[in-house]
Chains A and B, each alone.
Chain A
Amino acid sequence: MNRILLSLLAVSALAGTAFAIGPGMAAYAAVPEKAEQCPACHGENGQSQTEEIPSLGGQQPAYTLIQLYLFREKQRISQRMSPVAADLTDDDLRTISDFIGTLPKPQPPADAGDPARMAAAKALVDKEHCNSCHSADFSGRDNIPRIANQREDYLLKTLRDYKSNKRAGYDGTMAEVLGPISDAQIVELAYYLARVR
């Protein structure tokens, strides 16, 4: 963990320029100034390479805006995000959220997953209606986030935090939905959603 933090810091130092001239970012000429620091932790091209840090690509702008707002107002606490969001204006929140929505959506990992495990998890996903609010392809809608091909460790952490109320969420829906779902099932949901194609 310490090693990861150290490498994060190292990357952060280079982040501003690295992002602006990164090969994958050429298509994104108009990067909002305050979004230049995002890839340092969240990765280039919308895809995170960092443990427990979410991929942001293709995220629903309304969802991102809500999360940035919650970080800024300390309704959602994160050692990393709270300081970053503290000085954002309302316009910054809008600009950054819209920009993040234009980044390419994260790609599924090369490992397609164990077919039997994927099939069992899909049945669970269907049963719990994840594909209703989050849309059939898990791309989300409005304030409901994209979860397709999110990092497995981040999905796992997030689902556990919702279930334990460590993360209260904006409207409490996820705490309700996860009420009857066991930790073993959460592991399978994260496994499936990270790999779904």
Chain B
Amino acid sequence: MAYRTAFLRRTALAGLVGLMTLSAAAQEAKQPLPPGSALAGRPENPEAAKLAPISAPPLPTAADKLPTAKLHLPPGFSIEVYASGVGNARSLREGAKGTVFVGSRLLDKVYAITPGDHKVKVIASGLHRPNGVAFHDGTLYIAELSQISKIDNIEDTLDNPAKPTVIYSDLPKDEAHGWKFISIGPDNRLYIPIGQPGNNEPRDPDHAQIRRINLDGSGAEVVAVGVRNTVGFDWSPVSKELYFTDNGRDWMSEDVPEDKLNRLTKVHEDFGVPYCYQGNISDPEFGWGHSCSDYTPPVALMGAHTAALGMRFYTGSMFPAEYKDAIFVARHGSWNRSKKLGGDVVVVKLNKDGSVKSVEPFLTGFIADNNYLGRPVDVQPLKDGSLLVSDDWNGAVYRITYKGKGK
């Protein structure tokens, strides 16, 4: 149904444009967009035709081939391999007893990395895009493409874990932007994003939003709308407000729209997609009749097509004071751009009022000769104050520590 609506809208739009310029109408008629496709909206241009979504290989990179020696950090920081052999490592969580849980998107597995020896165990498999993991009161929550499940008492049963029990499945089954980051808020509710089912789609009641549910799956409630595809969020330790990354649309241009960092200040707040991108660009297709001023603008722009994904506030004590309550954001890196951008971890420093003071590079070096040596997906501060970074390209998790300048 969404497809038909989109087609009718596009046809109507083509008609309108035709009144003004024949060439524009001819172009529209020549390439009706395949709705839902990552290629929707791709211009007829030989350079654009060279770009295609990039998939990580399924096999993890061997530990001695990981790119840590090529990576850069501010002085005093260092990075090491925390675990290799974690195929397609995506979202990260630390359990109460120090186990690190890792989701995957292209594979069917959820992993546990044991504390101490950093042994990698598959604790669930046969799942469909189990990208999201969350941990609360001894229970691991797993987000597949269209359902949320849990395993109780997981850290005591790593060698023989129970099968995940589904707690919530009232979710669309769209593959496009269907994989999910999840997290449990200070309100003890589980937050679930539902991406827009394609590059640029008309708004409907079931997509492009963030919901929350009670931990037993009841009480589903939409808390944010107009969200294209968020794959990372966390709550400010100061204001308890939800901050979340959101990926902008493809094919508008090389340099816009930029991905966003948003802040939710009230329930059901509208962040503008698909009418408005990056807070100030009216969408050429859906923006007509809407104004960007009607939607909540981002608190920061995160770069064009950079795929700003996982993010966490840093509340640890290992890093210098300037990082206290700052946000680390993993940028997976662009595909819809001739010169790759992102593929790093940036640090977002905030003012006292929660607005953004700066966005600075933190972990860089994953792009060489316009190719990826690795692609960061998520970050997870550990209890000791160090910071984990997942890399789905290599199937690895890295650990960043601070030993101080001059050491």
User: Which residue of chain B has the shortest Cβ distance to A134 in the bound complex?
Assistant: B52
Pair A142/B54 contact, Cβ less than 8 Å: yes
Contact in complex: A179, B36 (CB < 8 Å): yes
Are B59 and A73 in contact (CB-based, < 8 A)? no
B50 to chain A, nearest CB (A): 8
Please determine whether B107 and A75 come into contact, CB atoms closer than 8 angstroms: yes
| Cβ-based interface call for A144 (8 A) | yes
What CA separation (Å) do A117 and B128 show in the bound complex? 39
Would you list which residues of chain A between 123 and 177 have a CB under 8 Å from chain B? 127-129, 131-133, 136, 141-144, 168, 170-173, 175-177
- Give chain A residues whose Cβ lies under 8 Å from the Cβ of B59: 65, 69, 90, 93-94
* A133 with B35: CB separation less than 8 A: no
> A34 CB to closest chain B CB, in angstroms?
16
A62 on interface, CB distance cutoff 8 Å: yes
B58 and A132: CB pair below 8 A? no
Q: Cβ of A23 < 8 Å from any Cβ of B?
A: no
* Docked-complex contact B54 and A173, CB < 8 angstroms: no
A129-B39, A132-B42, A172-B178 given; A73·B108 CB < 8 A: yes
Residue interface mask B43-70, A partner, CB < 8 A = 1:
0000001001111011100000000000
Q: Does B143 touch A at the CB level, under 8 Å?
A: no
Question: Which of A90, A94, A133, A136 contacts B39, CB < 8 Å?
Answer: A133
| Cβ of A30 to closest chain B Cβ, rounded Å | 21
Residues in A with CB closer than 8 Å to B39 are: 129, 132-133, 177
Shortest distance in angstroms between A192's beta carbon and chain B's nearest beta carbon?
17
Cα separation A133 to B53 with both chains bound (whole Å): 8
Measured in the bound complex, the distance between the Cα atoms of B395 and A69 in whole Å is 14
The count of A-to-B residue pairs whose CB atoms sit within 8 angstroms is: 83
- Binding site of B, secondary structure by majority: helix, strand, loop or mixed? loop
Residue-wise, chain B 20-39 has the 8 Å CB interface mask toward A (1 for contact) of: 00000000001110111111
- Is B126 on the interface with A (CB-CB < 8 A)? yes
**What are the interface flags for A173-197 relative to B under an 8 Å C-beta threshold, 1 for contact and 0 otherwise?**
1011101110000000000000000
**Complex Cα gap A133–B39 (Å):** 9
Q: Indicate with 1 or 0, residue by residue over B192-211, a CB within 8 angstroms of chain A CB atoms.
A: 00000010000000000000
Contact A141 B52 (CB under 8 A): yes
C-alpha spacing A84/B36, complex, angstroms: 35
CB distance from B194 to the nearest CB of A (A): 15
Q: Do B108 and A180 touch (CB < 8 A)?
A: no
Q: Establish whether residues A171 and B55, one from each chain, have CB atoms under 8 Å apart when the complex forms.
A: yes
Quick check: is B175 within 8 A (CB to CB) of the other chain?
Answer: yes
| Contact status A179-B37, CB under 8 Å | yes
Contact B57–A66 (Cβ < 8 Å): yes
| A20 CB-CB contact with B under 8 Å | no
Residue of B nearest to A66 (CB): B58
Q: How far is the CB of A158 from chain B (nearest CB, A)?
A: 16
A70 at the interface (CB under 8 A from B): yes
Instruction: Tell me if A177 and B178 are in contact (CB < 8 A).
Output: no
CB distance from B279 to the nearest CB of A (A): 27
Nearest-neighbour CB distance to chain B for A107, whole angstroms, equals: 26
Judge whether A127 and B32 touch: CB under 8 Å.
yes
Q: How far is the CA of A24 from the CA of B107 in the complex (A)?
A: 37
Cα of A180 to Cα of B107 in the assembled complex, Å? 26
CB–CB A180/B128 < 8 A: no
Known: A93-B59, A143-B55. Contact between A179 and B35, CB under 8 A? yes
Q: Which residue of B lies closest to A136 (CB)?
A: B49
Q: Once the chains bind, are B37 and A176 in contact (CB under 8 Å)?
A: yes
B176 within 8 A of A: yes
B106 on interface, CB distance cutoff 8 Å: yes
Chain A interface residues toward B at CB < 8 A? 62, 65-66, 69-70, 73-75, 90, 93-94, 127-129, 131-133, 136, 141-144, 168, 170-173, 175-177, 179-181
Residues of B within 8 A of A (CB): 3, 7, 30-32, 34-39, 42, 49, 52-55, 57-59, 105-108, 125-126, 128-129, 175-176, 178, 198
Q: List 22 A-B contacts (CB under 8 A).
A: A70-B58, A74-B126, A90-B59, A129-B34, A129-B42, A132-B42, A133-B52, A143-B54, A143-B55, A143-B57, A168-B128, A170-B55, A170-B58, A172-B129, A172-B176, A172-B178, A173-B175, A175-B175, A176-B37, A179-B3, A179-B34, A180-B36
List the 5 closest A-B pairs by CB distance, nearest first. A172-B175, A133-B52, A69-B58, A179-B36, A143-B55
